Amino acid sequence: MPKFPAMSEVAKSRERDEHGHFVDVEADEEGENLVDVKVHNPFKKIYSILESIKKKQETTLAFKATIPLIAIPIILAVLFGFGGFQIGRLNPMCQSHFTTRIGMLYVLSLTKPADKNLAQTFLPWLTSQPSSVPQVVAILKDGNEAYQLQLNFPLSTLTFHNQQVAVSGELNNCTQTIFVNTSTNISPLIQ
């Protein structure tokens, strides 16, 4: 006995092709409509879309990451630059600004330790570089403040050693450095 007897009766009477599939029966030419007009309500469609969005209003995002314990120091070292991170770099007060400072100009000869590379650190007996490097530095002393001068011209052109001068340039308050572009930005004060 068929599961749906009414459907079986209809299926028996329908026309089939050579493979046993149902064939669409075309309407008679007399029964065909000359004009077929369908009107749909767009507002009903928009309303149904809005209702489906309203029902699915909740959105859940989940994220899970697993970091090996050994990676945490490496990540911190990369983020903070192997000890090169300074709070002052993020401080807006450390931005350079153009200014003029008045004070005594001193040219000092210093000996600073040489920068060590990786080979010098682990194999100091194989390297022949000096342990210190001579350096000439220009310092401007203004009362209790001292500024290092970074010059974009040769230091030998400075002729105002141990004199009261006015220095104009970009001042970085965090590093106490004045960047001087030309020698004309350093002028002696008349006493």
Query: What are the structure tokens assigned to 18, written together?
Result: 């050579």
Helices (H), the chain: 5-13, 42-55, 71-79, 87-90, 118-122
The yes-or-no verdict on residue 88 having pLDDT over 50 is no
pTM of this structure:
0.44
What is the per-residue pLDDT across 120-178, written as a single tens digit (0 to 9) for each?
Answer: 666 666 555 555 556 667 787 878 888 888 888 887 767 778 888 888 999 888 888 88
Beta bridge partners of 36: none
CB 149 within 8 Å of CB 180: yes
Q: Which CATH class is domain 96-117+130-188?
A: mainly beta
CA distance 131 to 112: 9
Domains of the chain, residue spans:
96-117+130-188
